[in-house]
Amino acid sequence: MKARALSVGGAWEFEPEVFPDDRGLFVSPFQHEVFAEAVGAPLFAVAQASASVSRRGVARGVHYARTAPGCAKYVTCSRGRVLDIVVDLRAGSPTFGEWDSVELAGDGFRAVYLPPGLGHAFIALDDHSTVHYLLSRAYEPADELAVSLLDPDLALPVPADVVLSERDRTAPGLVLARNTGLLPVHAA
């Protein structure tokens, strides 16, 4: 498995080796030793596993958990393709407001790791795109917030015709979220 640091501090992309044969294929999309070496820590205790299925053109995010300790995520796509976007929402972080993206696909088995404090979004590039998440804490609706995916200050690679939920459509921009104390604070 290959590990590559993303430009957003603490975020990583993992690309496992795929072993195809005439029966199909075998892959290990998570490998503890490679993860621990890259991230510098073992995988977080998994509190919840979740999945979403989206049609082409649906965008979800930029989502994050507001309260400490936040929520770490290990994200994969098992069907279809998505453009996965990681945004640094940690006020005071050296990479605050920066983002990076990775195409995740059901045939490539790449994964993205996000430590607490980073925002997560994706855009479905195919119908039935299925995204799986391992989460370090259970979903708490009152603590789950969003920053606008369409915020011009972020300048994310989002097509104008994306389909958004009401929550994502009305999410505040990065500057407003920071100025009103809604963002996590970077721990040095």
Q: Has 139 been annotated as catalytic?
A: no
In the chain, what are the helix, strand and coil shares in percent, each to the nearest 5? 10, 40, 50
Long-range contacts at 103-106 (CB < 8 A, ≥ 24 apart):
104/75, 104/76, 104/77, 104/131, 105/77, 105/80, 105/81, 106/77, 106/78, 106/79, 106/80, 106/81, 106/130
Q: Do residues 56 and 129 lie in contact, with contact meaning Cβ atoms separated by under 8 Å? A: yes
CA–CA separation, 102 and 122 (whole Å): 9
Which member of 64, 74, 113, 133 is catalytic?
A: 133
Q: Has 63 been annotated as catalytic?
A: yes
Closest CA to 84 of 55, 64, 107, 113: 113
Q: Is the peptide bond before 152 cis (omega within 30 degrees of 0)?
A: no
Which residues are part of the catalytic machinery? 63, 133
